[in-house]
Amino acid sequence: MTAAPKTTQVASSPSLKVQAGEIKVTGVHKSYGEGLFTKAVVEDCSFTIERSKLTVMIGPSGCGKSTLIRLLAGFEKPTRGTITLDGKPITGPGKDRLVVFQESALFPWMTTYDNIMYGPRARGENTKEARTLAETLLDKVGLRAFRKKYPAQLSGGMQRRAELARAMINNPQIMILDEPFRGLDAMSKELMWEYYAGLYEESGRTNFFVTTDIDEAIFLADRLLIMTNVPTKVRAVIEVDIPRPRSLVHMVDDDRANAVKMEALSLLHEEAMKSFAGGSKAAADFVDAYSKRRRVAAE
Ligand SMILES: Nc1ncnc2c1ncn2[C@@H]1O[C@H](COP(=O)(O)OP(=O)(O)OP(=O)(O)O)[C@@H](O)[C@H]1O
Ligand SMILES: [Mg+2]
């Protein structure tokens, strides 16, 4: 039986109140091509994106993470298996799920404020409530002073923050993010983690975040799904039971964070070695990070 969707009241910002959804993926297969040219990308994959939790998926490059996201978003259909949102099958895209991709989707001809207000205006909901929420979000992502600037006048990190605000104003039941901070420099990335974690903690929304960055994964996750190499499925689920709000400084010395990192890296190392044969750069990075970790542990 599926539990009724929970509405989370946010005391400090009533306008960030959300209805959080839950997704269940059961025995999903996805393959492309036909006959001799069939390629299985997802195989017998099952997991739950739990209500109001931040679930992070991490796996080797090319293992099938973005393919799974396209299935969750309803852009494509599984070859076999089922995906449900609050017990109802996902049959296509819907405004209950919102996907933030790595590539910027901001309109270059619109200011930050107009980009954030795009969704409500497109739905004919240019209401006082939407405008108040846009103001709240501008503050939450630290872009009040840049509200009248165009995307080209913003740094990469600011663009990503504008994009988070633009997604959140639509109040989806589930936010799905596909490596949204890939390509940012290390400092901007760490700043983004704190902004994003803050937004997540305040809204109580269900979030599904895909990454290949182990530190990003552990800093953000309530639950970590470790994926196998292609054709992908869940290799392990690790509960990241570290209290929130989290701080990067504290996480460096946190025993639990380090234990999770070791466990995750050793599993990812095995999976990465399989794709390493295929010459994947990210796989090589995993192997490198793992050997460094072992060296530090041995010292
Ligand atoms: N439409 C398609 N037709 C054929 N093969 C596809 C298609 N889409 C994806 N693939 C294959 O599926 C595999 C997984 O791709 P996907 O983009 O899902 O991986 P990923 O885990 O997101 O990788 P990355 O970490 O690099 O983003 C790749 O081998 C890719 O070539
Ligand atoms: Mg991808």
pLDDT, residue 6, reads: 45
Pocket of ligand 1 (CB under 6 A): 32, 39, 41, 61-67, 212, 230
Coil vs helix vs strand at 57: strand
What is the amino acid identity at position 108? P
* pLDDT, tens digit, 9 for 90 and up, residues 222-237: 999 999 999 999 999 9
Kindly list the domain boundaries of the chain, sorted by start residue.
Answer: 18-96+172-298
> What are residue 203's phi and psi, to 5 degrees?
-85, -25
pLDDT digits (tens, 9 = 90+) for 258-293: 999 999 999 998 888 876 665 556 656 666 666 666
**Half-sphere exposure (Cβ direction) of 181: Cα atoms closer than 13 Å:** 26
pLDDT in tens, 184-221: 888 888 988 988 998 898 888 899 999 999 999 999 99
CA of 210 to the centre of ligand 2 (A): 8
Strand pairing of 223-227 and 234-239?
antiparallel
User: Closest Cα to atom 17, ligand 1: which residue?
Assistant: 66
CB atoms within 10 A of CB 36: 5
Q: Which residues pair with 26 in a beta bridge?
A: 82
Q: Which of 21-30, 97-106, 155-164, 249-258 has the highest mean pLDDT?
A: 21-30
Helices (H), 169-280: 186-203, 214-220, 248-253, 255-276
Give the pLDDT score at 50: 97
Contact (Cβ atoms closer than 8 angstroms) between residue 224 and residue 215: no
Distance from Cα 14 to the centre of ligand 1, integer Å: 40
User: Which residues, in sequence order, are bridge partners of residue 297?
Assistant: none
Distance CA 159, CA 16 (A): 21
Output the residue whose Cα is nearest ligand 1's atom 5.
32
Superfamily of domain 18-96+172-298: P-loop containing nucleotide triphosphate hydrolases (3.40.50.300)
Cβ distance 174 to 19 under 8 Å? no
Site to probe by mutation for ligand 1, drawn from 57, 61, 65 as the one with most ligand atoms within 8 Å of Cβ, is 65
Among protein residues, the one whose CA lies closest to atom 18 of ligand 1: 64
CA of 123 to the centre of ligand 2 (A): 30
- The burial of 81, by beta-carbon neighbours within 10 Å (0-12 exposed, 13-18 middle, 19 or more buried), is given as middle
- Max mean pLDDT range (102-106, 235-239, 254-258): 235-239
| Nearest Cα residue to atom 28 of ligand 1 | 62
Instruction: Tell me the pLDDT tens digit for each residue of 10-67.
Output: 334 445 657 889 999 999 999 999 888 899 999 999 999 999 999 999 998 889 999 9
The predicted model scores a pTM of 0.86
